[in-house]
Chain A
Amino acid sequence: MAQANTPAPARKLPGSLDTNRRLDRWLSINPDGTVTLVTGKVEIGQGILTALIQMTAEELDIDVSRIRLKPASTAFSPDEGITSGSRSIQESGLALRHAAAEARDLLLARAAQKLGVTLESLTVKDGVISARGGGSATYWELATPDLLAREASFDVSAKLPQEHVVVGTSLERIDIPDKISGKPSFVQDMKLPGTLHGRVCRPLGPKATLQAIDVKEVEQMPGVVAVVRDGSFLGVVAEREEQAIRAERRLARLAQWTLGPALPANDPRQLLTLQAEAETEVISSKGNPDTGGAKQLSAEYTKPYIAHASLAPSCAVAQWEGGKVRIWTHSQGIYPLRGDMAQVLGLPEDHIIITHAEGAGCYGHNAADDVTLDAVLLARAVPGRPVRVQWMREDEFGWEPFSSPMVMKLNASLDDQGNIVNWGHELWSHAHSTRPGGRGGVNLLAAWHLEKPLPAAKPGNPPLPGGGSHRNAIPLYDFPNQKVTNHLIRRSPLRTSALRALGGFANAFAIECFMDELAEAAGADPVEFRLRHLKDGRAKAVIERVAQMAAWKPKEKGDGERGRGIGFARYKNLAAYIAVIAEVKIEEEVRLTKLWGAVDVGQAINPDGVINQIEGGMIQSASMALKERIDFDRATVTTRTWDDYPILRFTEVPEIEVALINRPEAPPVGAGEGTQGPVAAAIGNAIHNALGARLRDMPFTRDRIVAALSA
């Protein structure tokens, strides 16, 4: 009887439709035979727009060529927060799938009424509704503006997977033709009439303040229209781009800065010295974490600060007119950005119109939002004129938010059968989320340098199950006893934020290397050892598949030069399953010769798009594991150019083979981030397989191999 008093749980609509319920926020069906699709998610090179078009066309039964996309804008788009975490298919895709299915239902009902027939007698082909006994009507004549002027209903049935004809096919990306033809494709390419160019002269170090500068000389340089100084924010606007660059260089020579407190040594283990300010939380506890066994092992792994290192330095355009500002940005979250911007400018949100324009791949929270405030502040000095600001390469490396360094200490016990009976994982990290939209402050670089600075919001750490620093820290393996502890140190010497997979990169790396260390101690084959500790059938399937692709031989041995290793994770423990085998050859340095990957993302909306994302993720992760580290001295970041921050080049990238285990019946999940940990671990394990030396600190540089071999 008690149940009768419990209120039924509120019903939720799929994805972002739940928070943006009006159908006409998402779709409009136009008299000219087109359908306009509006999404709050943005293209960052991952091909999301093509996938969303497929999901919408599928439910509407129209040709994909009829769909038009509007760039996301705070003027009209659904608020879908941030495009991140490989969630766009689940959030925007499922919303559009449902909205389109309902639109089709509404159109069919109108057609039935108009033609005086039953719903059952109707079929749709590319927007033409035909009745069995003759008679037809088109979407384009039936869809009056009131059709979708309503909230979505709960009782709508989208198609069954076996009915799909567009979803599940590898439709070519809609944006590639323009991008390979040199057409204006990026915010960097925008040219509004009368555009001026701006550049910002950044402080000498993260906490440095501007002591003095005489800007007269710069104001008289050719082309200079305005020099803007507000506290320690210093910038210039000029007629021509190269003039702005020259003027900024002159400003840099003239400015006198006072350095802030010295930065600590560049060592991830610095985190361990900050234990006093750590927020410590046991995030998983099972059985008795003090259980012993026949063998005990422990190991410590680290990852340094790394950069997004987008190929395009960040860029934005802003134009003030009558106390309002229009902004074009490649930000991943136009609404959160608008909120922060309103606080900085002291303007109501509706005076700020932010429209998304594509940038290059960003792989997380880079400087996209920061450059937007730069453009707005510089444009304020020249009302009416659009100002385009693109950061210089040295600004992008020096000032983007980095992925946090991390330390992972793992320990485990093996019983006399060689099974893991106890597992421990402790991790130390700074925050992985300092995007705009935080609480208690503003997360925009220039806002902290103003005469009246705004405080930064409290660095965030997304909660479990997805998690931030603790993403993928809880093993998917089935151990009888375990304890996982997260030590979060929010304050960081250098700004940290979201980069592909957040803490999942380092946690999965550590878990998967440690699994190999344990397998060796147990005298077991790494593939068999993983399978025996897993219950999840889909997890086992990707591991078995990749082993089959690579013709893995149980307990195969490296030859002192060549070796192979495996890595596995289920992204966030709730999304894509990915298993990877890496083959390395150790020459002067580690040469990655081949990567195999097996992937299960549930229903693959666009299989080739998924494979493209997986291949790209594999190469990027390999690059990070093998080469990447941000360097700094006591004053500032010293990594400033691609020479300082090498990434994998054409002569270094491995051969890649990826297999997709398609499960049309399973919900679709994102593909962008899941490869990060498994690839790094597979390479670490391959190096060990080749040399017998274990590298536990990324990146796996030549010096570290030499050190590991002589240890």
Chain B
Amino acid sequence: MTLTLNVNGKTCAVEADAETPLLYALRNDLGLVGTRYGCGLGQCGACTVIIDGKAVQSCDVPLSAAAGKQISTVEALCSDTSLHPLQKAFIAEQAAQCGYCASGILMAAKALLDTNSNPSDADIRNALERNLCRCGTHSRIMRAVKRAAKELRGER
């Protein structure tokens, strides 16, 4: 069947079964491969996207439930010419090793910063609780989120 999705501000039609997890439509139909498969059970956060303002695991959301909602993926974070402050901060802090978890963590962090412009360490830890990083770059990621929050607040 044809399902209509609103992804990164664009309306897209996807030809798939209604119970197909959103993750596969994003990656394989819409070419948005920044959202990644890690577990298929909503346990690792590698596939995190923002749906109607909330960080959600896209492997766990059927297309039928995603249709009609505002979905944004990591590809929408930056424009053609400039990176989002979170992305700039990840580079500045070198907050990655393999980078497979990065997209999901960036989206979870964006959902946090959208509602909390000055998060504490505990706020950041809690917001990223559902995202796993196996390389152990957690402390760099936390520094990067703080740095981005500062830039978004207009501080230097």
Name A residues whose Cβ lies closer than 8 Å to a Cβ of B.
44-47, 170, 172-173, 175-177, 179-186, 188-189, 191, 222, 240-242, 309-313, 358-361, 363, 390, 392-393, 608-609, 612-613, 615-620, 623, 641-643, 647-651, 653, 655-656
Contact = CB atoms under 8 A, between A and B. Distances in A.
Contacts of A608: 94
Interface string B113-155: 0000000000011101101111111111110000000000000
Contacts of A649: 129, 132
A184 B33 contact: yes
Interface in B13-37: 16-17, 20-21, 24, 27-28, 31-37
B7 interface: no
A619 to B, nearest CB: 3
Contacts of B136: 615-620, 623, 648, 653
Q: Which of B21, B24, B98, B106 has the most chain A CB atoms closer than 10 A to its own CB?
A: B98
A180 B39 contact: no
Nearest to B122: A651
B43 A642 contact: yes
A393 B40 contact: yes
A608 B132 CA distance: 22
Given A313-B38, A615-B137, A180 B96 contact: yes
Interface residues of B, number: 57
B122 to A, nearest CB: 8
Contact of B94 (A173, A181, A222): A173
Contact of A361 (B16, B37, B97): B97
User: Is the contact region of chain A dominated by helix, strand, or loop, or is it mixed?
Assistant: loop
30 contacts: A45-B97, A45-B99, A47-B97, A177-B91, A180-B91, A181-B77, A182-B74, A182-B77, A242-B24, A311-B38, A312-B36, A358-B98, A359-B100, A361-B134, A393-B41, A612-B94, A615-B137, A616-B97, A617-B136, A618-B136, A619-B138, A620-B136, A623-B136, A641-B39, A642-B39, A647-B134, A648-B138, A650-B128, A651-B125, A656-B139
B74 to A, nearest CB: 4
Contacts of B41: 393, 641-643
Interface of B: 16-17, 20-21, 24, 27-28, 31-41, 43-44, 46, 73-75, 77-78, 83, 87, 90-91, 94, 96-103, 106, 124-126, 128-129, 131-142
A176 B91 contact: yes
Contacts of B129: 649-651
B138 A360 contact: no
Contacts of A177: 83, 91
A240 B25 CA distance: 10
Nearest to A609: B94
A241 B75 contact: no
B24 A240 contact: yes
A176 B96 contact: yes
Contacts of B87: 180-181
Contacts, number: 178
Nearest to B76: A182
Given A180-B106, A189-B36, 20 more contacts: A45-B96, A176-B91, A180-B87, A181-B74, A182-B35, A182-B74, A189-B33, A240-B20, A240-B24, A242-B16, A242-B21, A311-B98, A312-B36, A615-B139, A616-B136, A641-B39, A642-B132, A643-B43, A650-B124, A650-B133
Given A44-B98, A612-B140, A618-B136, A182 B38 contact: no
A273 to B, nearest CB: 33
A217 to B, nearest CB: 18
Contacts of B96: 45, 173, 176, 179-180
Contacts of A616: 97, 135-137
B38 A180 contact: no
A180 B141 CA distance: 12
B106 A655 contact: no
A216 B120 CA distance: 57
A182 B73 contact: yes
A311 B101 contact: yes
Contact of A360 (B16, B43, B77, B100): B100
A184 B77 CA distance: 15
Contacts of B31: 191
B24 A615 contact: no
A172 B33 contact: no
Contacts of A191: 28, 31, 33
B125 A650 contact: yes
A360 B46 CA distance: 11
A321 B17 CA distance: 32
Contacts of B75: 181-182
4 closest A-B pairs (Cβ-Cβ)?
A: A182-B34, A45-B98, A619-B136, A179-B99
A609 B94 CA distance: 9
Contacts of B140: 612, 615
Q: Which of B39, B74, B125, B135 has the most chain A CB atoms closer than 10 A to its own CB?
A: B135
Given A181-B34, A184-B33, A650-B125, A172 B94 contact: yes
Contacts of A612: 94, 97, 137, 140
A649 B133 CA distance: 8
Contact of B28 (A241, A310, A617, A656): A241
A702 B147 CA distance: 36
Contacts of A360: 98-101, 134
B100 A361 contact: yes
B100 A186 contact: yes
Q: Which of A613, A617, A620, A650 has the most chain B CB atoms closer than 10 A to its own CB?
A: A650
A647 B102 contact: no
Contact of B133 (A311, A313, A642): A311
A650 B24 contact: no
A176 B99 contact: yes
